[in-house]
Structures are given as C-alpha cells and as structure tokens.
Chains A and B, each alone.
Chain A
Amino acid sequence: MSSNRDQAYLKTRVGVLSARLLSPQQIDRLKEMSLRQLGESFDLLPIFEEAIDNRQKSRLVEQALLHRLMHELSVLLRPLSGRSRGLMLYWPRKFELYNLKTLIRGKLNALGMEEIRDNLFDLPENIRLPHESLLQAENVLEMLRQLDQGPYALIARQARNVFEEQHENFSLDAAIDRLYYTGMLRHANITDSIDKRGLKKVIGVMVDRQNILWLLRYRLVYHFAPSEAYYLLIPYGGRIQRDSLMALANLDGLETIIDHLPAPFQEILADAKHITQVRQRLDQTVSSELRKLMHYSPDAVVSALSYLIIRDMDLMRLYAIIQGKLLKMDQAMLNEAVPSNAIGARLAEANDV
C-alpha cells in the first residue's frame, strides 16, 4: 500500500476503531458489571440466555469475540493490497496455528473427532486450515502423513518425534510458535512499509513477551537444561537478542533472571512474585507500547497491526472477565486474574518505546 489516499483511509479507520479499545478504567468497570450487563454491552446476551452449560457458553463467547476481531480485520484490510495485505493477513494465522496445535494434541491424545472440532476456532476461509480432512484422519500417523504434504511438513516432523518418542509437547508448540514469528518477520522484511523500524518493533515486542514467559516456564517450572530452554525460544526478539537470550537461559531463579533482563523489563518485572504476575505485567507493557506505535507510527499498516494486537488482548481480557462471571468468581479473584492496566501504562510511559 503506497497511496496517500489508502494511508489516510486506513489511519482514519484505525482512529475510529481505536475508540473501542479498553482503558484501565473501562476494564475495572467491566469487572463490576453483571453477566447480563456484559451481555447487553457486547451483544452476547443471546448466548448467556441459551439453555447450555457454562463450558459451551464460554466457547460460544470466545467464538463470538473472535468473529468480532475478524470483522474488524476485514474492515482494515479493505484498502490494502500486495505485501501489506499479506502481512495483515498473516497476523491472524496465529489462530489457525492454535487450531493446528489443538488438532495435533487432540489426535496425539486420541480424542474423538467431535471433541477436537468443538475446540477449534471457526476462521475465515482465507486463513483456514483444511480441518475437515485432518479431522477425518483416523489415527495420528494418517494425520501426520497429511501434514507432511503441505506447508507444515516441519511441524509434522516435530509431531512425529513427539509421537514416536513419547516426548512432551513443548518442542511441538515451540516449533509452531517459531514458524509463526519467522513468517511474521519474513512478511515484515519484504513489505514496502515506510516504517519498517516500527513494524519490527511490533513483532519484537511480541517475541520478547513470548521469550521471557517461556524462558521462565522452561527453566523454573519444567526445569529444562539451559541448552534445551534456549533451543525452544525465538532468537530474534526486540530488546532481547540472541546473546542476551543465551545468557538468560544459563541463569536460575525468578529473581536472578529478572535482574538480568534488559530495560525496561527489569524495572517492570521487579518484585514479581510468580510467572502469572510476570505475564500480566508483560501484557500491560506490550499493550502500552503498541498503543504508542498505533498513535505515532507514520505507517498506517503499523498502526492497524498494533490496533489488532491490542484489540485481541482486550478481547481476551473481556473473555477472562466473562469466564470469571460464568464461574461465579468473587471480585478479588477476578481482580487478580484481570488486573488493572494502570501499572503497565505508567511504567511504559516512563520508558522510551
């Protein structure tokens, strides 16, 4: 996309849509709303009123929120063509890859077709995997043979390894995530964006979040050796590059790892007590950094991509609140599960993006 008209159109669209993003105050208000009020505010009431169990309701809500996001994506795609469009269309592939993970895990664990189908996202045609043929596969080997034939041959190999050697799924998940971010970077490199730096920052922010979280999980929860933990990470983050990542993988203990993180993560995560807290603070920081990029990037594509990522995170928060309400969580638990964004916003503003 190069024409000024298209840039202006997209910028305007992002400007209009950005009014839908949730402020910390709005998130706090949502947490105080009843399920009915949430349903009325987000057109989800028919789902809440259906005579189905909470698990099904939760699933329908997730699907409805995803449809909303996909609709907004389709609006933002309108003025885009060529490589910029390719980049924007690549971003939602993460949902397709969630589906791929679900399919592979489901088949590895010998789940029934219907059970797997129930857990798949319903995605638009242009980013959808050929689910039906993969679902119809009657055993893992058949599914792997099908995957071998397509663009996911590498994933099929990892999955075969997991299946034949009875390994855990980490390597499979990591391979899928790496495939996604590598693809994202490839698209960013070939796009004709006028703000490639901004574009790479968007991806870098996401990769850093992913790396910090998974490094902590691999090292502290699953007790992987440094080499194995490092191998499973993505070595091209924004602020945490290959060398820092190797050094971090060699460390032990939450506090030590956080102490050795580069700015601003060190300050943001200081005194975090557990990984959930780390995730929440990282999410808040990512959201704040992307908001800046959305507002100030000279390239409308960067703004649009940033918007979509923040919107996705917002909808995930909304989904978490609704789930909490469905499960009748008390307010304290809900506050812990979905904290206010105030800390992250303050810290992110203190640091240059």
Chain B
Amino acid sequence: MAPRKRITMHDHAAEASLFKRRALFTFVCVILLLGILLSNLYHLQIRSYTDYETRSNDNRIRVVPVAPSRGLIFDRHGKILAENQPFFTLELTPEKVKNIPETLARLSKIIPISADEQEDFTKSLKYHRRFKPLTLKTPLTEEQVAIFSVNQHDFPGISVVAGLKRHYPYNGLMTHALGYVGRINDKDKLRLQKEDKWKDYAGTKYIGKQGIEKFYENLLHGKPGHLEEEVNNRGRTIRTLKSVAPEPGQDIYLTLDLELQKKALELLDGRRGSVVAIDPRDGGILAMVSSPTYDPNQFVHGISSKAYGGLLNSRARPLINRATQGQYAPASTIKPHLALLGLDEKIVTPKTRVWDPGYWQIPGVERKYLDWKRWGHGWVDVNTALMGSCDTYFYDLAYKTGVDKIASFMRPFGFGERTGVDIFEESAGNMPSKDWKRMRYNQPWYIGDTISVGIGQGYWTTTPLQLANAAAIMANKGRRLVPHMLSSIKDNTSKIDSPVDEMAPIILNDQNNWDIINESMMNTAHKSRFKDAGYTAAMKTGTAQVFSVAEDEKYDAETIDEYLKDNALIIAYAPYENPEIVLAVVLENAGWGGVNAGPVARALLDEYMLRDNLEFN
C-alpha cells in the first residue's frame, strides 16, 4: 500500500505550472484559429465584397420587362387602320382562394366558363406559383366585365385585368397590305436573337407577321421599359424598387386611301382578283386590294387550326396577296410598252402599216397565230393597233424585235424584278429571255416563244403591282418612283414625311415617243369605257389565256371550267394631262378584260377623280 501511495503522490505546484503552460499554449492556438476565421471574413467581406454584393442583388432583384404599346397605323387622311384595344382577362390568385372548385362553380353561374377553359386552368394550376395570378378566361366581353364587377366582393382572389391587343377595325379590308400581328413563335425568336433584338421583346407577346405590320416592325414596336422588383427566395414580389416607363412605338401614316380601298373591295365583290392604285406623282400606293380576303383579327390571339386549315386549303387561296404575289400573264396591257419599244428602236414608225387578215404567220412557216378578231383588223398603224388591241401587229413587232431586246427594254419598267414595295410578300414575276429559258428549262428559245411574248403571254408573268408600276412609269414619261405605302411617321406632334425613293428615269432615244403612246391610250379610253367620263383618262385592257386553246379549237366561255377561263386585266390612269392616279386591275377567270375589268377601273377612277373635285369645290 505504502509504495503505491508514493507512486500516486502528486506534485501540486509542478502540475499547476504544467497546466498553466499548456493553457497558455492553447490560448495562443485559439487566437491563431480565430485569426484564420477573421482573415477569411476579411476575404469575404472586404476583398470580394463587390462580387458578393452583385450576387446578393441578383438574388433579390428581378427585372420585369414592360412591353411598349404598339404604334398605330393610319391611312392618308388620318383614319385609323390598326389600333390597340383594351381587352379583359379574368384571373385567379390560387393562394387567395380557399376552395377553388367551389369558387369556380359559383363563378360559372354568373360568367360562363367552358369545360375547355376549366381544364386549361386546372392543368396549369399544378405548375403555378400560388401567389401569382393565373388566367381563367380571356377575353371577357364588356357585359361580363360589368357583371363580374358588381359581384366582385363574392370572389376574393379573382380579378379582372385589362390588357391591350391589336385590333383592325376594318377587318378584311386591308388585310394583305397591313398584314397582322400574332404571338411571337420560335422562328420569330430565333430571328430576333440573330438580329440582337430579342432583349427588346422580353415583355412583348405580339410581333408583325405580315404586310406593313411586319415591314415596319422596328418603327411600330417601341422600346420596352422595366420594373425592378425585390423578390424573396420563392419569387414573391416584396416591393418595386424602380420603374422605367416603356417608349411606345411610333404611329405611322400610310399612303393608302381608306375610301378608295373600300370602293375597290366592293367592286371586286368577292371575285378573285386584285386592284392596285398608285399616285404617280410620288409612288404612294392609294389602294392595294387582294380578293378574296380574310379577317386578320382572328390571327391576333391565335387562329384555330380548323379555321386556318379552311383558309389554307381554300381553292380561292385567300392567304395570297394577289397584288404583289399573284403572277399573271399581262396580256394586251403591255402592248403600249411594246409599241413604245417598236417606235424607239425604229422597228416601226407611227406611219408603219400592217395588214391583219385575222392571223399571222412566221415567214415560210405554215402555222397560223390567230388574232382575237377572227376576221382581222385590216390595215393597222400603231395607234389603231393599240386601240383595237391588234394581235397581228404585235406578233409581227415581236418577231422583228427579238426576245432579248424586249427583255432588256422591259426590265427598267420593273418587269421581272421586285418593285421594292414596303411589304415582304412580293414576287418578281418573270421577264423571259433566251438565257433565262436555257437556265430554267435547259431548252433553246423558239421563235414561237417570242410571238407569245409579243402579246404578253407565254413565259411573261407580272404582278398587279408591277403592272400598275409600269403604267405609272408610262404615265410619268420615264420618271421612276419606287411604289410604297409608308407616307409619314408621327413624331411627338408633327409628322415626318417618309422620303420618296426615286430611281434614274428612263430616257428614250426620242422622248416624243412617250406622247405618241400615251395619246393612243387616251384615245383607247375615250373611245370606249371613258367616253362619258367627266375627266380625261388613258387605259389599256387585256385578256389573258390561262391555258392554251389548240389551233383548231374554239374557246367557249360557257362550257369551260371556271378556273380555266381567261383573266381580265386593265391598266388605266387619270387625268391624262397630269396623272394623279394609276391603277391596275386583274380579275381571275373573269373573261374579257374590257368587259369585266373595265367597269371596275372606271368606277374607281370616278370615285377618286370626282370625289377630289367635290373636295376642291
């Protein structure tokens, strides 16, 4: 016991001082370790402060884009063609509604909610943040808005929210010229990203899809604003920190004339066809009609696939803008231009006479090219050939000129090229040449092809806009203005006129030839359709075969299928001395140009000329 006791004997003083040394050592360690914590805090809070401050702000600040309101579109007299209409949406905030099915059942007693709407709502409810409002029904009628407003106190958590949607008050009247807006789709998104404009569309739902709405998207759209909101970790908005108002899109004025457009569509009366009217003094398009038309408003909120399929598959093809995309044989409407070529290239003179027995033959070839007048026009010169639209005269002229010379003379009039009008939906038509045929069909050019071109048939195709434009150049005696629809842009209170795009004029070898041809066109008008008009006018009609009638067959309008009947065309302008309006009318499968297209042209020029006179008086 004793020895063991000695072993366990404690040296208290030594143990105490040993402990003190160890305690001091640990205290130094504590200070060192706290130093490590402190230097890490210094690193976080001082050296990396800006970085973490940014990340903290990224956490809590949400930037909510605010879409600008789209610019309005007016006609030349300030009549509104495209406007932004308020529409109302019924929204439900899930967290504020205790019993959703019960509430919906009560709600549907005062506002009908269809099974589809219910299903859509229930579906999206699952993936929705409970504090964010969810669409229940859109759009509401004004009556429904009123009914709900009266009963609102019975439906906490449900509210009516107003928005703006594009509306075209004249429905189908302007569809092909104005186009329409629709919801931004993936293709639009890709394009905007490529053009580095996607950020401007963060809050925007609609974008121009066609026509003016698409072409002037940049003017009409405006600049978005934004709200800076403070949000918590679940995305709930706590408060708004900053708000930058959007810059609305610019209002634009078009050269279109609402009344003339109305009249034109009325005159087409549902028939397939197109009217283009241009003011030759500045190239402004007064009317652009394509019939049949459709209501662009149905595209704004998204058209049903059934309705769209109906439009897409309709044999009348309403979706096509016939004015700029319809490609028609110009037929006799280009005889004035061919005559001008003949005179200017000295292939004929004003006095040159041709004998028309009712047909024409290539020298030494048996085949007969028939004139539309079976018994022939007899002796014709350039004036009578134009007035009577003598085919034989122009067969002969084309044969003597050759297709390449025709093509190179016609191209400056805009044939075979896009006019550059301010919508994207435009076709170039076709101005044939030997090279073109070899490229296109890998076939040589035959003389017979030239003969067809001589009466505006065969491979030659034009759009109604090209015809009107070529007629305007004729009426302007070579002055060339790019046809356009934008007139001016509204800037605060004043209007800024859009500059007129003028190309180098066509200078003839003998400028007097313009007068000779225009005079013949005036004679044509005043001998027939414009005999009793209260103003001077000039015109040329055309009747285009849609399919070839064999030599020994007779074209019989009564028995032939509707879609194989001839197209009726006319170009006309007024007044003759100082043209203010040039127009081209194409009526598909309507038959004779003079008989069918003529009255449309006359009525339109009457409308325009006589109304103007009234205004002056």
User: Do A and B make up one complex?
Assistant: no
By a beta-carbon cutoff of 8 Å, the part of chain B in contact with chain A is none
Please list the residues of chain A having a beta carbon within 8 angstroms of any beta carbon in chain B: none
